[in-house]
Amino acid sequence: MKKIVLYLMMASLTTGFTWGKTGSEKCEEAKQLALGMVSTTPRESISSMVDSIRQLCPEGAAGQYINGFGSEVAGNPARAIQSYKEALRLDPDFAPASGRLGLLYLETALEDDATLELTRAVRSHQDPLYHKALASIFKTRKLYSLAIYHNSEAVKLSPTNTTLISALAETYREAGQTGKAEEAYRRADSLKPGDLESLKGLASTYSLSGQYDKALETLKKAEAAAPLDKDVHRLKADTYLKKGDTANAETEYILAGMQPSRSSIKPGSGDVFTSNKDFDKAIEAYRDEISMNPENAELREKLGNALKAAGRDDDAIAAYREAFRLKADNQDLHYNLAMLYEKKGLHDEAVVEYKQALAHGENTDVRYRLIDIYTQRGSHQQATEQYRILLKVNPADQALLMKLGRTYVTAGSTKDAIATFREITRINPDNLEAHKELASLYKKGNQQDETEKEYREIIRIKKDDMETRNALTSIYVKRKSYPELIALLKENVEMAPNDSNHHYKLGLVYEFQKEYENASASYLESIKLKDDNAKTLNALGRVNMKTGRIKEAKEYLEKAKAADPNMEEASLLLSNIKDELAPDPSKYKKSKKGKKSKKGKTTKKSTKKGAAKSPSKSPTKTVKKPAAKPASGAGQ
């Protein structure tokens, strides 16, 4: 018996004590173990975790995940995908299954599905492989900021992994951030001296930035580490060719297993190909000429122009930099290089080159390019400085002044914006956009007089601007400027005589001014155009009540109620009319009974108190009074 107890104790200690745990608790424990399995986990630990998960929760999400993992190891990706999907069906938030599924989707070129699953995974399961995979997807799509972010996250999770560091460096290089690319490649090389991929990447980065001697020096280190690597010799050949060293380039091409091409292109052919927009041949021709005349800066610039036209921006940047190294310096060279930097989002570098271009002479296009960059950055003061410089040349340029004024608005410089827009209206009183900008600024500043003036100018220039007319209407209503309001509404009617609503609005103002005949005329015109206009029908009923036309009022109010049963005012007015014309019958009967009884008493006591006869007349007066009230109330 003691032996049995001892065996039970040993089993409990070696298999993980799970006695007394529910199934859900075991599956939760298995889930936590699965979350601990990442690509950096030692194999021995993974093997132990797999066994534990299978024992704890074989049929749950964690168990299905382990089944998928096993299928991957066995080389059966289709079955692995099924298992991962089943795990996610059981637990949609099970990140490890999403991560592995995303990696398999990426292997089968299902990039959209891979992006979705991997993004879900990295929210709660930090594995450098997931970030590396997302980075490769975003890099392919040229979304470099996202690619750099995920590469950086991968490196944070595995700081000594040179493959991940080299991947980050490559992304920096493709994004045009050569300085950061060089730094990352050097870091990878320091962690793993002689690493071939790091050295080749560093050499390519040097070559891209025109540092050909450094590129060759790095490639020689790579050659020492792998003398027979053909890719190293190909890179050396390309670098020699860029330097114009044809002899060494041919030797390296042979070592790379490539037959060097012997061009028969004549000098000047590059210009001919460029004029015919055959840029690929132009590039080949210029490179051939450079090989014969490697110190010719003009040829480097022409090569850069051809590469830029062909859409090969990185190579074009390298060619332009090489031209600068050879002491080339002109406005076009700086301008072209700046545009490439701007295109790649390297705004700091672009600004430097644009300013260098301006050092060679005034250039309107360059100024506008600088304005665009400053505006994107939110550097409004620098943008306005460029506008002011351009306006010195043409101070009456309305389009330029409009842009300057709107920049002031964005920067919050209201006073300067108003001054600029006023200058435009001085130059051209009919500039509609300038008046609109001024009206908007005055309205924000609660300057009603100035706002009204600008609204008047806008409708002078564009009479049918209903938005402005409505805004001006609101100002007149608030200020109780009824003559101006009536004149404005009359204009609205004249411009759109078939608009029922315009007649109705004019009628409202007449009614408020107690010009009931004019109000009725406007309302009737509105009804002619739209006979079921509930608001106008109600207004006609109301005016007729005010003028004592009770019968007509009742007709219009009933029509209004039929057109809009929910109109409370129409119902209330109708109720008032009914109350006046026909008092409550129950009250009327009660008063009659009282009359008879009083009469009887009065007859008996008539000899004693003759003065008691007067109360017998009061019920009759009470009945007659309501009929007279509408007439007296209409004039109020």
CATH number of the domain where residue 563 is located: 1.25.40.10
The average pLDDT across 166-187 equals: 87
Task: Calculate the CA 508 to chain-centre distance.
Answer: 44
Contact 242, 317 (CB under 8 A): no
% helix / strand / coil in the chain, to the nearest 5? 80, 0, 20
Q: Which domain holds residue 202?
A: 26-221
Q: Return the minimum-mean-pLDDT range out of 176-190, 367-381, 569-583.
A: 569-583
pLDDT at 48: 82
* Tokens describing residue 124: 């709660």
Domain end position, chosen among 546, 571, 586: 586
pLDDT at 439: 94
The average pLDDT across 387-415 equals: 92
In a domain, 433, yes or no: no
pLDDT at 261: 60
Residue 290 has pLDDT above 90, yes or no: no
Confidence of residue 619 (pLDDT cuts 50, 70, 90): very low
Contact 378, 407 (CB under 8 A): no
Give the separation between CA 405 and CA 423, rounded to whole angstroms. 10
Give the separation between CA 560 and CA 531, rounded to whole angstroms. 10
Residue 15 has pLDDT above 70, yes or no: no
pLDDT at 148: 92
In a domain, 555, yes or no: yes
Domain end position, chosen among 548, 564, 586: 586
In a domain, 473, yes or no: no
pLDDT tens-digit map of 198-236: 888 888 888 877 788 888 888 888 888 888 888 888 888
pLDDT at 403: 93
* Tokens describing residue 528: 């002619």
The average pLDDT across 147-156 equals: 92
Mean confidence (pLDDT) of the chain: 82
Confidence of residue 579 (pLDDT cuts 50, 70, 90): low
Residue that wins the pLDDT comparison between 364 and 616: 364
In a domain, 364, yes or no: no
Residue that wins the pLDDT comparison between 584 and 627: 584
Contact 438, 421 (CB under 8 A): yes
Give the separation between CA 606 and CA 615, rounded to whole angstroms. 13
In a domain, 550, yes or no: yes
In a domain, 237, yes or no: no
- The total number of structural domains in the chain stands at 2
Residue 585: phi and psi, rounded to 5, are: -55, -35
495-503: Cβ within 8 A, 24+ apart: 495/463, 495/464, 498/529, 499/529, 500/526, 500/527, 500/529, 500/530, 500/533, 500/536, 501/526, 503/529, 503/536
Residue 80 has pLDDT above 70, yes or no: yes
Burial code (b: 16+ CB inside 10 Å, e: under 16) for 588-607 equals eeeeeeebeebeeebeeeee
What stretches of 160-264 show up as alpha helix (H) in DSSP? 162-174, 178-191, 196-208, 212-225, 230-243, 246-255
In a domain, 166, yes or no: yes
Domain end position, chosen among 221, 236, 255: 221
Angle at which helices 313-325 and 196-208 pack, to 10 degrees?
70
Identify the CA nearest to 169 among candidates 160, 177, 159, 157.
177
In a domain, 512, yes or no: yes
Q: How far apart are the first and last CA of the chain?
A: 112
